Amino acid sequence: MEPMNKTQLFEFLQTCNPSALLSLLSAAYDALGHDQRQVVFGQLAKAQPPIHVDGEALLDKIKGLRRESLVGVYYAPFAINSKNWMHVPGAHYPYRARSRANREILNNMRVFVVGVRRD
């Protein structure tokens, strides 16, 4: 494998459109190991502003999801046996559509775990 010419590489990169550069960065990120990613991208990750989440609204949604879960809204009974134990119920079950709608709540819960005051 021939050594790479940094000057030629960066002259070429200056002619690329932003979409091509982002694709290249994505491929580079995937090719790097954990320590290499920290060296190359670590400062950029630290410079990102925190994600703003309305804690009260999120807590209300979480409480609503909990209430619905406790009363069985997301429960879909089906008989399990040795032939169908890996079967996942289809989209015709109403709880699946509601579960998709609550995916945003669950994703926000992962991002915003601290900072909600319980007054």
- Average pLDDT, rounded, for the chain: 76
For residue 91, pLDDT beyond 70: no
DSSP secondary structure letter of residue 117: -
| pLDDT of 115 | 45
Burial class (CB in 10 A: 0-12, 13-18, 19+), 92: exposed
pLDDT tens profile 6-18: 999 999 999 999 9
| pLDDT of 77 | 66
Q: Could you write out the DSSP letters of every residue in 44-84?
A: HHHHSPPPP--HHHHHHHHHHHHHHHHTTTT-------TTT
More confident residue, 73 or 109: 73
Mean pLDDT confidence for 66-84: 76
For the chain, give the percent of residues with pLDDT over 90: 25
* pTM for this prediction: 0.39
Mean pLDDT confidence for 59-80: 81
For residue 118, pLDDT beyond 80: no
